[in-house]
């Protein structure tokens, strides 16, 4: 029995531990580093150079002490410093103020100085310029009177230009060349004043440079010309001029397209004209709406929305931004879903829709079918899916999905140069299944869809993905005859925010690979088995404990009966002794009475002896003389036996020696009870019942129950002490095991309570926010600005709630070992720039300094899992921003160190901040699941407490390390060290999906559902595929409708199960029992959350024909309905 209990305890502990390991986590609490700590490192070397720094749009930003610096001019200064070793000391002011300081020698360097013969005699120009300044004529975007295609429209107009600038010469030459009659208005310096004059109509047009960047409401429409500008030195700093002349050629040699790349990065918005031509604007004004077709199952690009007509995916972001760029209300767009590429293509050709979103860019295909395609909106990457044991060089047969946009002819030519056989399947899932079963060698998929299948679906664990290093452009496709719409879309695409689009795609990617309840059950089915075994063992244990208690109870009952008999015998003996004393005094006179008393005494002694035998011989007797001293001690053979003495000669021969066998802790306690009954002359105090430990020869100390009763003489002095020993060691062990099991269960329950308390608090907080802002929005429906503000806050809180759930699911994948790295070529500098863009809005909102230093690496392209590395760094940086107070500093620095392999390097990512810090005693628990630092919980900062545990797990999977150094109220420094393979720069990424088409026109359905929300959802889904829907609130209402229905009135019934009045089973049986062939045959489909096999069997036995689970899977619902109605 003890072995069974021990095995049950171990299995129970394992089960509880595994459950907690899946759902527990830790709370990372970011901390910042002081500026002194951040600046500490290698000693600074190099020449100190004073450079003039002024604010000028996208050319230079951050012209104040401590501000984050950016822009073309700043990056050019850093490029020069990389080859000269200069260290800059920034001097701030306006351009004109700084130019005067340059002439006087107060500063050494200055940017953005155009060449003039007069200046050449005053300052030092290098051989090469630092860039070119482009001059445009700009007008208000809504100015339809001036057309760049008809320059005569400038006649009679006023054109503003900066006074005393080279721009005047360019403007005069342009006016003379094009024979234009207009007025030149020289204007003082100050960009804001010129813009204000243009917007107020004081001038009709304005000459401006591309430095200024894009201004809302203003478009650059005419290119005047360009001129080089220079980074110049003060007259006496010829030493700097020499170093500059050596550095500039090196910059262009290492990066031949430096100018073009920098101009596109910083000035592309200003260099592109998104203003529509008058003809295009007139064409668009005559259109009441634009119908945009899209693939109904093609995430992360597009997919049919669950509520209303708004589709999911990046499509709405793209189209809304296009409308914004061409200044059109997005409500002009109507979205139309299509289930396959042929239907979507034909809809554009025949004019059912104006354009199609989601086709890959393929000019050869577009020419053949009669379509025109825009420039790429963005690009996505392709992947090959093959079996893990298959060699990619052996590919012969390739699966292609019909319901997806096919890979373009250019892609197929680039990836597959040989003679391959293409096999077409209905869906992407069918293609994956064909590869898995060996019917084909490979299929072409996009990275995101591949991740969905291979990470989320256990059925495809035997497949792997191979990067093709080929990109597919995603574009808008229009009818080849519709040049106006093509031109309009091209104008709207040029200024799209690619970082915003990438961020939207990333959000949709995480939703594709997120685990659901079905995945968790598939992964952890064995836990349910263990729980079942543990529950069975608990039942067995309870049965054994109950039987043991019953046996102990019976033994105690026998012992009590024997004790009562002994008590009766003792009482009779006392009475006999008293009579004997009296008889001795009257002996001579009452011989007959003496004889009678002796007979009674003999009988009492006989009863006592018989009772001693009944006590199984494990007893002892101590006799006392009239004075109270021990006169005789008798130990039974049974007592010696249970103490382990097989030979009576080995048993202790004195009472003191026997008492010495009692455990020291129990000897004093037991002796106290014996002494009490011996010294007190009270008939009511004569019994001892005590548990003690006695040393045995074979089992060390053993627990016994010692029961003793004292018989007294007539004068109250002790006569005999009868005792019995009972071995209760098994009972004691059983109680101890039960207490230990109870303690472990209490500890497991406490751990579960801690987890649930933390999660319920963290989830309840954003839920309260959502409910509160929703209530405020309902109260302010008339104030659209207020409602918009509340909706934005609801969106932010919802994203926080989503992050809580994502962290829990991410932790479940990590604990179950389902996280697999997906190495791909990754540019670390681009990755850090992307992180900076994501965090920029939060940095600016908190007025933080954000510094990025990538000078410590030589190889910027490595082979790594880009998404996981991004997740680690974004988590650390997000926490740094979150916990750094306003005005603080956050930075990330990259360092490269050699590794054992020449083709590999160790990369260190240093994330530092000047935040609230971490207590020393908490740093040891920082990566422990669900631990939180006191200073973060007190400050009210929210989080699941899983972030740092997830970060540590991902770094461990990468084979790297993460360390932390922190001091409260000064800051924190995290160092992530990982070894990567260095490679030449490559690109990668992205893709798509679709779904079956259903049309139930002419069909009618009776929806039986008691929940109003579920009614609305199901009603919208069914009407969306052209069902005519009638609703019944419960089974009784459905029965009444069927009694009155004519034959064929309803083609199918969707029946909920758990409903008031009459449930789904009862309603189905009642409908089948009606006297109507139609009611006996009409298809009835159960629609319920009860999805186990016994539930489905119960539905079939009640007379139902099918079963659909809740939450509703649209594909399963429509597929089941189509099957029922077809058959």
Question: Is 512 part of a structural domain of the chain?
Answer: no
How high is the pLDDT of residue 5? 43
CB 573 within 8 A of CB 608: yes
CA distance 34 to 37: 5
Question: Is 856 part of a structural domain of the chain?
Answer: yes
Residue 703 has pLDDT above 80, yes or no: yes
CA distance 933 to 863: 36
Shared domain check, 669 and 603? no
pLDDT in tens, 27-36: 333 333 333 3
pLDDT (mean) for 895-910: 91
Q: 3-class DSSP state for residue 437?
A: coil
Residue 613 has pLDDT above 60, yes or no: no
pLDDT (mean) for 704-708: 83
Q: What is the DSSP string of 20-46?
A: HHHH-----------HHHHH-SSPP-S
How high is the pLDDT of residue 30? 33
How high is the pLDDT of residue 31? 31
Give the residue with greater pLDDT, 466 vs 402. 466
CB 933 within 8 A of CB 925: no
Shared domain check, 648 and 631? yes
How high is the pLDDT of residue 713? 81
How high is the pLDDT of residue 362? 85
Counting the structural domains of the chain, the total is 5
pLDDT (mean) for 307-313: 80
pLDDT (mean) for 260-272: 69
pLDDT (mean) for 406-435: 72
pLDDT (mean) for 239-260: 89
pLDDT in tens, 188-237: 766 677 888 888 888 999 988 766 656 777 888 888 888 888 999 999 99
Give the residue from 591, 614, 637 where a domain finishes: 614
CA distance 1068 to 1106: 12
Phi-psi region of 168 (alpha: psi -120 to 50; beta: other; left: phi over 0): alpha
First to last CA, the chain: 60
Say if residue 732 is exposed, middle or buried (CB neighbours under 10 Å; 0-12, 13-18, 19+). Answer: middle
pLDDT band, very low/low/confident/very high, at 1093 (cuts 50, 70, 90): low
Return the percentage of the chain with pLDDT > 90, whole number.
27
Question: Is 781 part of a structural domain of the chain?
Answer: no
The pair of three-digit structure tokens given for residue 708, joined into one six-digit string: 């003793």
Give the residue with greater pLDDT, 880 vs 926. 880
Residue 2 has pLDDT above 50, yes or no: no
How high is the pLDDT of residue 23? 38
Give the residue from 346, 372, 398 where a domain finishes: 372
CATH number at residue 337: 3.40.190.10
Shared domain check, 601 and 564? yes
C-alpha 157, offset from chain centre? 59
How high is the pLDDT of residue 34? 30
How high is the pLDDT of residue 904? 92
How high is the pLDDT of residue 981? 93
How high is the pLDDT of residue 731? 82
Shared domain check, 1022 and 968? no
pLDDT (mean) for 649-655: 76
Q: 3-class DSSP state for residue 855?
A: strand
How high is the pLDDT of residue 931? 57
User: Which among 236-240, 401-405, 554-558, 747-751 has the top mean pLDDT?
Assistant: 236-240
List Cβ neighbours of 872 (8 Å cut-off, separation of 6 or more). Answer: 951, 954, 955, 976
How high is the pLDDT of residue 219? 80
CA distance 335 to 326: 19
How high is the pLDDT of residue 994? 42
pLDDT band, very low/low/confident/very high, at 291 (cuts 50, 70, 90): very high
DSSP 8-state secondary structure symbol assigned to residue 54: -
Q: 3-class DSSP state for residue 124?
A: strand
How high is the pLDDT of residue 937? 46
Give the residue from 372, 395, 426 where a domain finishes: 372
CATH number at residue 1112: 3.40.50.2300
pLDDT band, very low/low/confident/very high, at 1105 (cuts 50, 70, 90): very high
Question: Is 645 part of a structural domain of the chain?
Answer: yes
Shared domain check, 828 and 910? yes
pLDDT (mean) for 311-323: 91
pLDDT (mean) for 296-322: 86
CA distance 1000 to 1003: 6
How high is the pLDDT of residue 38? 41
Question: Is 694 part of a structural domain of the chain?
Answer: yes
How high is the pLDDT of residue 1026? 94
Residue 17 has pLDDT above 70, yes or no: no
CATH number at residue 675: 3.30.450.20
Residue 512 has pLDDT above 60, yes or no: no
pLDDT in tens, 132-157: 888 889 888 888 888 878 888 999 99
pLDDT (mean) for 823-847: 88
DSSP 8-state secondary structure symbol assigned to residue 310: P
CB 296 within 8 A of CB 303: yes
Residue 11 has pLDDT above 50, yes or no: no
Shared domain check, 1121 and 1028? yes
**CB < 8 Å & 24+ apart, contacts of 1105-1112:** 1108/1054, 1110/1014, 1112/1017, 1112/1018, 1112/1021, 1112/1087
pLDDT (mean) for 770-793: 80
pLDDT band, very low/low/confident/very high, at 410 (cuts 50, 70, 90): very low
Shared domain check, 664 and 544? no
Give the residue with greater pLDDT, 626 vs 1002. 1002
pLDDT (mean) for 929-933: 57
Residue 1125 has pLDDT above 80, yes or no: yes
Shared domain check, 685 and 721? yes
Q: Which helix (H) or strand (E) holds 891?
A: strand 889-898
Question: Is 499 part of a structural domain of the chain?
Answer: no
Give the residue with greater pLDDT, 261 vs 985. 261
Question: Is 153 part of a structural domain of the chain?
Answer: no
Q: What is the mean pLDDT of the chain?
A: 79
pLDDT (mean) for 119-128: 93
Shared domain check, 950 and 844? yes
Tokens 């010692």 found at: 706
Strands 619-624, 718-727: parallel, antiparallel or unpaired by DSSP? antiparallel
Q: Name which of 161-165, 735-739, 856-860, 942-946 the model is least confident about.
A: 942-946
Shared domain check, 1081 and 936? no
Question: Is 368 part of a structural domain of the chain?
Answer: yes
Q: Where in the sequence is the domain holding 549, given as residue range(s)?
A: 525-614
Residue 1073 has pLDDT above 90, yes or no: yes
Shared domain check, 966 and 856? yes
Residue 405 has pLDDT above 90, yes or no: no
pLDDT (mean) for 1113-1126: 87
Shared domain check, 1038 and 956? no
């Amino acid at each position: 029995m003890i072995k069974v209990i021990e095995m049950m305890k171990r299995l129970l502990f394992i089960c509880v531990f595994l459950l907690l390991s899946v759902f527990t986590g830790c709370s990372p609490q970011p901390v910042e580093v002081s500026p002194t700590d951040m600046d500490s490192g290698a000693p600074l070397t190099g020449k100190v150079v004073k450079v003039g720094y002024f604010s000028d749009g996208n050319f230079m930003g951050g012209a104040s002490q401590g501000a984050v610096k950016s822009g073309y001019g700043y990056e050019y200064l850093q490029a020069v410093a990389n080859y000269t070793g200069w260290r800059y000391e920034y001097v701030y002011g306006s351009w004109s103020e700084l130019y005067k300081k340059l002439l006087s020698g107060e500063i050494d360097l200055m940017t953005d100085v155009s060449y003039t013969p007069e200046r050449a005699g005053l300052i030092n120009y290098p051989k090469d310029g630092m860039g070119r300044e482009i001059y445009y004529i700009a007008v208000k975007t809504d100015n339809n009177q001036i057309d760049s295609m008809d320059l005569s429209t400038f006649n009679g107009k006023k054109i503003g230009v900066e006074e005393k600038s080279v721009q005047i010469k360019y403007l005069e030459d342009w006016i003379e060349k094009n024979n234009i009659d207009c007025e030149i208005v020289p204007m003082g310096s100050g960009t804001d004043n010129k813009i204000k004059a243009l917007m107020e109509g004081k001038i009709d047009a304005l000459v401006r440079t591309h430095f200024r960047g894009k201004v809302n409401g203003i478009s650059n429409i005419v290119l005047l010309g360009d001129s080089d500008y220079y980074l110049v030195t003060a007259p006496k700093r010829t030493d700097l001029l020499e170093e500059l002349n050596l550095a500039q050629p090196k910059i262009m040699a290492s990066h031949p397209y430096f100018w073009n790349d920098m101009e596109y990065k910083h000035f592309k918005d200003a260099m592109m004209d998104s203003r529509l031509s008058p003809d295009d604007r007139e064409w668009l004004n005559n259109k009441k709406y634009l119908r945009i077709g899209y693939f109904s199952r093609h995430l992360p690009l597009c997919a049919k929305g669950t509520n209303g007509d708004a589709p999911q995916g990046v499509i709405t972001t793209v189209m809304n931004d296009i409308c914004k760029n061409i200044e059109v209300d997005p409500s002009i767009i109507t979205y139309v879903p299509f289930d396959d590429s042929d239907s979507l293509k034909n809809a554009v050709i025949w004019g059912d829709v104006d354009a199609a979103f989601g086709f890959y860019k393929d000019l050869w295909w577009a020419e053949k079918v009669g379509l025109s395609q825009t420039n790429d909106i963005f690009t996505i990457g392709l992947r090959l899916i093959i079996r893990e044991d298959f060699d990619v060089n052996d590919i012969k047969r390739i699966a292609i999905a019909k319901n997806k946009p096919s890979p373009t002819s250019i892609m197929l030519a680039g990836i597959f140069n040989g003679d391959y056989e293409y096999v077409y399947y209905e869906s992407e899932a069918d293609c994956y299944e064909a590869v898995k079963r060996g019917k084909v060698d490979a299929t072409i998929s996009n990275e995101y869809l591949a991740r969905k299948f291979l990470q989320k679906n256990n059925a495809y664990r035997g497949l792997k993905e191979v990067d093709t290093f080929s990109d597919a452009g995603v574009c808008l496709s229009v009818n080849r005859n519709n040049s106006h719409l093509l031109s309009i879309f091209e104008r709207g695409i040029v200024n799209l925010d690619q970082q915003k689009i990438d961020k939207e795609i990333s959000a949709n990617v995480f939703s594709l690979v997120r685990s659901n309840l079905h995945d968790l059950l598939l992964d952890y089915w064995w836990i349910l088995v263990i729980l079942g075994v543990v529950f069975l063992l608990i039942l067995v244990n309870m049965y054994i404990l109950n039987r043991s208690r019953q046996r102990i109870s019976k033994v105690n009952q026998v012992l009590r009966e024997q004790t009562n008999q002994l008590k009766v015998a003792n009482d009779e003996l006392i009475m006999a002794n008293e009579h004997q004393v009296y008889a001795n005094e009257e002996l001579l006179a009452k011989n007959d009475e003496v004889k009678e008393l002796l007979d009674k005494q003999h009988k009492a002694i006989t009863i006592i002896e018989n009772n001693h035998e009944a006590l199984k011989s494990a007893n002892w007797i101590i006799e006392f003389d009239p004075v109270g001293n021990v006169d005789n001690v008798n130990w039974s053979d049974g007592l010696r036996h249970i103490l382990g003495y097989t030979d009576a000669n080995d048993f202790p021969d004195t009472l003191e020696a026997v008492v010495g066998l009692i455990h020291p802790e129990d000897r004093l306690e037991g002796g106290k009870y014996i002494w009490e009954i011996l010294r007190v002359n009270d008939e009511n105090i004569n019994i001892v019942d005590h548990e003690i430990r006695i040393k045995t020869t074979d089992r060390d100390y053993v627990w016994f129950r010692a029961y003793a009763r004292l018989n007294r003489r007539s004068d109250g002095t002790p006569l005999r002490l009868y005792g019995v020993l009972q071995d209760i060691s098994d009972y004691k062990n059983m109680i101890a095991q039960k207490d230990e099991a109870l303690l472990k269960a209490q500890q497991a329950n406490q751990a579960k309570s801690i987890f649930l308390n933390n999660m319920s608090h963290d989830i309840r907080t954003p839920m309260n926010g959502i409910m509160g802002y929703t209530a405020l929005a309902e109260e302010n429906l008339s104030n659209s600005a207020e409602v918009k503000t509340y909706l934005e806050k609801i969106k932010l809180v919802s994203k926080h709630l989503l992050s809580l759930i994502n962290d829990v699911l991410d932790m479940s994948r990590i604990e179950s070992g389902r996280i697999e790295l997906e190495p791909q070529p990754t540019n670390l500098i681009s990755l850090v720039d992307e992180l900076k863009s994501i965090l920029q809005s939060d940095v600016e909102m908190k007025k933080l300094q954000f510094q990025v230093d990538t000078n410590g690496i030589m190889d910027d392209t490595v082979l790594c899992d880009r998404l996981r590395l991004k997740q680690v760094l974004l988590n650390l940086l997000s926490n740094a921003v979150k916990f750094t107070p306003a005005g603080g500093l956050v930075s990330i620095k990259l360092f490269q160190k050699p590794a054992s392999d020449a083709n590999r390097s160790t990369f260190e990512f240093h994330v530092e901040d000047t935040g609230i810090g971490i207590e020393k005693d908490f740093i040891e628990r920082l990566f422990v699941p669900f631990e939180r630092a006191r200073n973060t919980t007190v400050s009210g900062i929210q989080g699941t407490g899983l972030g740092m545990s997830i970060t540590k797990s991902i770094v461990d999977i990468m084979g790297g390390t993460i360390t932390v150094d922190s001091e409260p109220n000064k800051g924190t420094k995290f160092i992530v060290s990982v070894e990567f393979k260095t490679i030449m720069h490559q690109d990668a990424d992205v893709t798509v999906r679709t779904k079956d088409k259903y049309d139930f026109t002419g069909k009618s359905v009776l929806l039986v559902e008691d929940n109003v929300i579920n009614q609305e959802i199901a009603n919208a889904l069914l009407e969306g595929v052209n069902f005519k829907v009638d609703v019944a609130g419960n089974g009784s209402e459905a029965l009444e409708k069927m009694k009155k229905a004519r034959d064929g009135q309803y083609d199918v019934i969707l029946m909920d199960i758990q409903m008031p009045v009459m449930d789904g089973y009862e309603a189905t049986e009642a409908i089948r029992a009606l006297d109507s062939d139609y009611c006996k045959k009409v298809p009835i489909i159960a629609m319920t959350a009860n999805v186990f096999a016994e539930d489905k069997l119960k539905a079939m036995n009640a007379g139902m024909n099918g079963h659909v689970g809740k939450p509703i899977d649209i594909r399963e619902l429509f597929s089941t309905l189509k099957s029922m109605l077809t058959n």
